[in-house]
Amino acid sequence: MTAFSDVFQGWIGINLVALLLTLFFTTVLYMLSLGLNLPNVKKWAKGEYAQVLVGFLLIMSIVGMVEVGWQVMQDVTGGVIYAGSGQMLSSAVSPFEVADAYLDTVIECEISAYKWLYYAMFFAKPAQSFVTDVAGVEAIDATIFSPIISLASYFSNRITWILLFQYVLKELLAFAEATMLTVFLPIGLVLRAFPVSRGAGGIMISIAIGCYFVFPLSIVAMTAMQGNSFVVENGEVAMNTGSSALALCTAVGVVPNFETLCPDDIVGYFFKGEELLMGGKSLMGQVTGIGEQISALYLQAMFYPLVSLIITFTFIRSTSSMFGADLAELGRGLIKLI
């Protein structure tokens, strides 16, 4: 909030000058409408007086609105964490921190699962080509690893797309936290001061408020709906990796240490292939267990964030008209540009 206060103090003067310019031109048009008997211009000028007044009130109230909204966000986040963990936080926490903690934990679990699947393929693929023959007749081959390799390749591909989506979501959260109140909101207030750009200013104000307040709170709410996801350690919020929402972490277990597992030469590969051949059943069970949890990740990584985005867009659409934006007109303009 300090960054917002510092930046907004510099924008207050610009907003006031923009509103005063609008007031000046509106007054000139109003006087011309009286002198030239132009009722339509007179009616429009009266409406602009109301818009200028709303602009002044909006500037005076926006700082208080943001400060109150920030406090409400912290209270709601603390309440959600208390309901999910039964423990109180030692200090206020923002929903951005909770959303980041959740995403970081899930991403870490997914990376661990990807490493496990890579481990399964790293030795199984070379071992699959091992062939033993007696007098030119093949006696034993390692085609037993074909199902493991196929499943591991399929699951690792799915994890890649889930990771990509969650990294995009993480960057969207960081972008919203850094720019919504310090860039979008001040620019929106300036644009709203002028009649020709009032619609664009209104939509920018709605986007700033929606993405900064509604978006992270909705992600926290979606996370809380997934079971006992939160724990409080030393008064600080953390993610419960043993919860049903993070079952992948439990399914992965301990990630192999590749530095100690990788053989130094081809002979080591033969020995490792023999170990995998003897333990192929347990390795298959590990790969299958990870795959079962990946299916649940689609709900967490794609469906719940999509619901959060829908809630945010609905809020923006509902409040944009209050700030003078015409989304239908903006949509028609975009279609014409396309």
Check: CB of residue 169 under 8 Å from CB of residue 309. Answer: no
Residue 134 — φ and ψ, nearest 5°?
-120, 115
From CA 156, how far away is CA 176, in angstroms rounded?
30
Block residue for tokens 């693929």:
125
From CA 136, how far away is CA 140, in angstroms rounded?
12
Check: CB of residue 316 under 8 Å from CB of residue 206. Answer: yes
Check: CB of residue 206 under 8 Å from CB of residue 312. Answer: no
CA 199 and chain centroid, separation = 27
pLDDT by 10s per residue, the chain, length 338: 555 555 555 666 777 777 788 888 888 888 888 878 778 878 878 877 777 787 777 777 776 777 777 777 777 766 666 665 555 655 667 788 878 877 887 787 788 778 777 777 776 676 666 666 666 655 555 566 677 778 888 888 888 888 888 898 889 999 988 888 778 888 887 787 777 777 888 888 888 888 888 888 888 877 777 655 555 555 555 555 555 445 555 545 444 444 444 555 555 555 555 555 555 556 676 777 777 777 777 777 778 888 888 999 888 888 887 777 766 666 666 566 65
Residue 258 has a pLDDT of 44
3-state secondary structure of 203: helix
3-state secondary structure of 133: strand
Q: From the DSSP assignment, how many helices (H) and strands (E) are in the chain?
A: 13, 4
Closest CA to 77 of 237, 252, 204: 237
- Sign for the pseudo-dihedral over CA of 325, 326, 330, 331: positive
CA 116 and chain centroid, separation = 26
Residue 276 has a pLDDT of 55
pTM surpassing 0.75? no
Strand pairing category for 230-233 and 137-141: unpaired
- Compute CA distances 200 → 26, 142, 204, 246, whole Å: 20, 65, 6, 41
Check: CB of residue 132 under 8 Å from CB of residue 139. Answer: yes
The two tokens of residue 87 are 């423990």
Check: CB of residue 82 under 8 Å from CB of residue 88. Answer: yes
Closest CA to 215 of 161, 163, 179: 179
The two tokens of residue 230 are 């939160």
Residue type present at position 114: Y
Where in the chain does DSSP place strands (E)? Answer: 131-134, 137-141, 230-233, 236-239
The two tokens of residue 216 are 């992270």
Where in 87-235 does DSSP place strands (E)? Answer: 131-134, 137-141, 230-233
From CA 97, how far away is CA 93, in angstroms rounded?
7
The two tokens of residue 198 are 């009032």
